Copies of this chain bind each other. A is one copy, B any other.
Amino acid sequence: MENSQKALVLLRQIIRSTDMQDKEISRGTGVTPPQLMVMQTLRENTQLTSGELAKEMVLTQATITSILDRLEKKELVARERGKDDKRKVWVSLTDKGTELMKGAPTTQQDIFVRNFEDMQNWEQSMVVASLERIAFMLNAQHLDAAPLLDIGELDRTQQ
């Protein structure tokens, strides 16, 4: 088989694998994958407005609103109207939400990290370099397909 074909098959396998992990976490925590992704984004950014969240996750504001509604009902996130600019709504994890994020999600990552660290140093570097290559190619691909769109996106991924 061609190397490129192998790469594609492996990529699909990897994506499938993480997808199933997500579902597993989801079942374990009682939080759906999209909800979990919102929470992960919040964990990394402390405070975001609905709009920023939507942009970051490439979803409509309306979609984010409905996901937040459900997360708020479970008391995993809190909304607070902006004091400076009252149109804005700042979203953040509650204590309960932070607590939940300390559980299952990291466990999975820990396993990955443990396995990863079992590799020789040269192999680790090789893997990282390869992933960088792939990420770059996929990005180029995306740019090919949508030439003018979202410069912001490009900036962000290159930081």
Chain A residues within 8 Å of B, Cβ to Cβ: 2-8, 10-11, 13-15, 17-18, 20-21, 23-24, 58, 108-109, 111-113, 115-117, 119, 121, 123-135, 137-142, 144-146, 157
Q: Are A135 and B4 in contact (CB under 8 A)?
A: no
> Closest Cβ of chain B: how far from A102's Cβ, in Å?
17
Instruction: Give the residues in chain B near A146, CB-CB below 8 Å.
Output: 24
CB distance from A54 to the nearest CB of B (A): 14
Instruction: Tell me whether A17 and B142 are in contact (CB under 8 A).
Output: yes
User: What are the 4 closest A-B residue pairs judged by CB atoms, nearest first?
Assistant: A130-B130, A10-B131, A17-B138, A4-B116
Asked whether B138 lies within 8 Å of A18 as measured between CB atoms, the reply is yes
Known: A14-B131, A133-B127, A137-B112. A142 touches B8 (CB 8 A): no
Q: Which residues of B contact A108 (CB under 8 A)?
A: 141, 145
**Smallest CB-CB separation from A144: which chain B residue?**
B111
A140 to B7, CA, bound (A): 19
Check A10 against B145 for contact (C-beta < 8 Å).
Answer: no
Q: Could you give 21 example pairs across A and B, Cβ below 8 Å?
A: A3-B124, A4-B113, A6-B131, A7-B124, A10-B131, A11-B18, A13-B135, A13-B157, A14-B14, A14-B134, A14-B135, A17-B138, A18-B138, A20-B142, A24-B146, A108-B145, A111-B144, A112-B137, A112-B138, A115-B141, A126-B129
Asked if A14 and B138 sit within 8 Å, CB to CB, the answer is yes
CB within 8 A of A7: which of B20, B116, B139, B157? B116
CB closest chain-B residue, reference A134: B14
Given contacts A17-B135, A109-B8, A123-B133, contact A128 B3 (CB under 8 A): yes
